[in-house]
Structure 1
Amino acid sequence: MKQSTATALAACLAVHDGRAGNARQALALARALQPQAGELVLQPRAPWRWWAPRRLPGAAFGLGAPLRTALTQPPGLAVGCGRQAALATRLLRRAGARAVQILDPRLPPRHWDLLVVPEHDRLRGDNVLTVRGSLHPVDDDWLLRAVPAFPALAALPAPHTVLLVGGPSRHAALDDTEFAALLRQLAAHARAEGGSFSAIASRRTPPAWRAALGAVDAGVPGLRWRDTGDGANPYAGLLAHADRLVCTPDSVNMLSEAAATHAPLFLWQAARVRGRVQRFAAQLLDDGRARALDAALDAYPVTPLRETAWVAAQLRQRLGLR
C-alpha cells in the first residue's frame, strides 16, 4: 500500500451524515491532512440508509444530490465517518477517489484504502489503524485561536473550573438530583478558593439539567451556558481558558477533547457508565490523564492526549501523500 514516492494530495473531502459526532471526526481528520478540505453532507433516505454501508442498486441516488455531483468529479481523498458515509466512501472509491473510513463499518476492510477504528473494536488488518478515543481538532493552535475569541473568559478569577455537561443515556445512568448536587459542590469549591466556575450544556443535556445550570448561585463568577439563548456557544473558549476540567462521563467525543487540553481532568461518576465510554474513561483514569472527581480538585502534571495528528501522519505515509 505504501508508495515509494510521495504524491501531492489532490482535493480532500470530509463526508458525513450531518450528525455532530460524525461530522466532527471526519472534518478533523480531513483538515489535518488538508486545511482547505471540503465537506459533503449526505442526504440519506430509505431503503439505502437502512442497509448502509452495503451497496444496493441505486445507492448513489439514495444518499442525495451532493454525492451524485461528487461522483462525477471525485476528490483525491474522501474521509468519511459513520455508516452512511461508509457507503458514500465506497462509491467514491469506485469512482476513483482514495477512501478513508472512521469507525468500524461492519464490512471487510478491503472496501476502503484505510480504516480508523477504536481500540475496543475487534476489527484489525493491514489497512486498519486503531485509536483510543475520538478524532477532533483540539490542539495548541486550536486552543490559542479560541483565547482572543472569548476575551471575557480571561477576566474571570483563577482558578477557573469548567464543567462539560452531557446527559443520561442508556449507557450512562446519571441522576438529576446528583447532578444538582455536583453543581452545588463545584460552585462552593470555586467560592471557597476565590476562583470561578463555568459550565456548558451539550445537545444531550436534558431540560432539567439545563434548568439546574440556570439556578447556580449568581454570586459565583463564571459562565453557565444552557443554549443559544445565553449567547454564542463558548465551548472552544472554555476549553482554552480552563484551569481544570470536570466532565460528565457519557461521551467519548467530549472526554477525548477534554483530554486533549493542558488542564487537569476530573470525571464525575465514571463508574455509572457502560460500554465503549466506560472503557475509554477507565483508560484515562488508569494512565493518569484523568482522575475521579474528589473534594480537593488538586492540580497534577498533564500530557495532552492527541491522536488526530498521528493518524494524519500515518495516512500520509501509508498512502504516499505529501
Structure 2
Amino acid sequence: MKQEPLHRPGRAAGTVVVTDGAAGNERQALSLALGLRVSPRMLRIALRAPWRWIGPGFVRGASLSILRWQWKTLSSPWPALAIGCGRHAAVIVRALREASGGATFAVQILDPRIDPAHFDVVVAPRHDGLDGDNVVQTMGSLNPVDDAWLADAKVEFSTLQQLPRPRTALLVGGLRHGLDMDEAWLAALIARLERWRERDGGSMLITTSRRTPPQWRERLRAAFKNGTTCFWGGEADGANPYPGYLAVADRIVVTPDSVNMLSEACATGAPVFTSLPANPPAKLAAFHAELVDQGWLHDIGAEPADVRQPPPLRELATVASKIRHRIEATRPDIAVALDR
C-alpha cells in the first residue's frame, strides 16, 4: 500500500467533520458545525491498526490509517476547518493539522488523552479535568437543542401534543463499565414510574438507543400497560420520535449512563430525573453532581411538582463563539475561508 505524503502544505477550503460513526460523537461534531454556521462534509472512519490501538499519540503514516480515497478527499484541498469527536477522529484531525502545514484549523471534541497543543482547540467537559490555553470546557455534551429546534420537533411530531398530560419521557441508554445498572435497578426504576402514572395519569413516552440491551427493550415494551404509552425500540417501530419526546415532555427521566442524553434533556427546560447507582465512575459522578448542584438534574425519588427549574442548559452558542474568536484572532485566513 503506497503511503501518501503526510506533509504537503497547500491551500485550504471548506469544513470536514470526522467521527467513528458513533451516534453521540457525530451529534456533538455536527452540533458544533451548526453553531459555527458552516456546512460540513461528513467523513466516517474506521481506523486500521496500529492507529486504532495507539490513538492520536501516533500519527506517523496516518494517511494509511483510513481508506485511501478518504485521505485523498481530505488532501485536495485540505479542509480549512476539521472538527473531530472521539479518540479515533483525533488521529485524523491531528494528522490533517500537521500534514497541511497548519493550513487546517483542527478542533477536537472530547479529551484526546494527549497534549491539547497538538490541536488548535480542544472542547472537553469539565469532569475530564483537561486544562490549557486552547481548551474550551463545557459542563455536558454539545447538542443542537434550543427553542427553534424544539419548535421544529413539535411540528414534525405534532400528534404527540394530543397525548394526555403530564407527559413523561423515558430516555434509555445502556450498560456502562463501572455502573451497576442491573435487573434490580431497572425494576426499581419501572416501579417508581408506575407510581407516578398511578398518581398523575398522563402519558409515558419511551425511547431506547442502540446500546440498550434486548432484554431491557422487551421489559420496557411490556411495562406501563395501564394508560397511554408510546414505545420506540428500533427502526421496526418507525421513525425515532426522540426529538418529539424532548419537545412535548412535561418531565424527562434519563438513565444515568448517557452524558449526551442527560445534556440534551437538561437543554429542554423540562425537569430531568435519573437514578444513579451507588459507587459510579468518578468522572460520571462528577458530571451528575454538577448538574444536581446547578438544579438541572434531580433524583427520581424527588416529587416532580416540588422541583425548581433553572434556565435550560445550553452551551453550544458560547462554545462556538469562543472558537470563532480564536480563529479570528489567530487565523484570520481561516475565518475568511469559512465565511465564503
Shorter-chain TM-score above 0.5 = yes
Match of 2:228, SS?
Answer: coil
Per the alignment, residue 312 of structure 2 pairs with 304
Per the alignment, residue 5 of structure 1 pairs with none
**Structure 2 unaligned residues grouped into runs of 5+:** 1-11, 329-334
RMSD, aligned α-carbons: 1.9
CA distance 1:93–1:151, shift in 2 (3 Å) = same
For 1:110 and 1:167, the matched residues in 2 are separated by 34
What per-residue deviation string (whole Å, max 9, x for no partner) do you get for residues 163-184 of structure 1? 1112232221012133134224
Per the alignment, residue 4 of structure 1 pairs with none
Per the alignment, residue 168 of structure 2 pairs with 161
1:214 to 192, 216, 221: 221
1:54 to 54, 57, 61: 57
For 1:17 and 1:178, the matched residues in 2 are separated by 31
What per-residue deviation string (whole Å, max 9, x for no partner) do you get for residues 224-245 of structure 1? 2222222211111101110001
For 1:314 and 1:128, the matched residues in 2 are separated by 10
CA shift, 1:56, in A, is 4.4
Per the alignment, residue 279 of structure 1 pairs with 286
Q: Which aligned pairs between 1:162-311 and structure 2 lie closer than 5 A?
A: 162-269=169-276, 271=278, 273-294=280-301, 296-298=303-305, 299-311=307-319
Q: How many aligned positions are there?
A: 314
1:44 to 47, 56, 60: 47
Which amino acid is the alignment partner of residue 32 of structure 1?
A: G
CA shift, 1:203, in A, is 1.7
1:314 to 306, 312, 322: 322
Match of 2:312, SS?
Answer: coil
1:126 to 117, 123, 133: 133
Q: Please say if residues 180 and 212 of structure 1, whose CA atoms lie closer than 8 Å, have aligned partners that are also in contact.
A: no
Which amino acid is the alignment partner of residue 50 of structure 1?
A: W
Q: Please say if residues 295 and 309 of structure 2, whose CA atoms lie closer than 8 Å, have aligned partners that are also in contact.
A: no
For 1:239 and 1:35, the matched residues in 2 are separated by 25
For 1:98 and 1:208, the matched residues in 2 are separated by 45
Match of 2:295, SS?
Answer: coil
- Report the TM-score, using the length of structure 2 for normalisation: 0.86
Is residue 149 of structure 1 aligned with residue 149 of structure 2?
no
For 2:209 and 2:282, the matched residues in 1 are separated by 20
Is residue 87 of structure 1 aligned with residue 91 of structure 2?
yes
CA shift, 1:270, in A, is 5.1
Per the alignment, residue 115 of structure 1 pairs with 122
- Report the TM-score, using the length of structure 1 for normalisation: 0.91
**Structure 1 unaligned residues grouped into runs of 5+:** 1-8
CA distance 1:115–1:213, shift in 2 (3 Å) = same
Per the alignment, residue 3 of structure 1 pairs with none
Q: Please identify, of 216-225 and 81-90, the stretch whose mean Cα deviation from structure 2 is larger.
A: 216-225
Identical counterparts, % of pairs = 45
Q: Please identify, of 183-192 and 235-244, the stretch whose mean Cα deviation from structure 2 is larger.
A: 183-192
What per-residue deviation string (whole Å, max 9, x for no partner) do you get for residues 14-68 of structure 1? 1111122221111111221124222111231112222221334421121223233
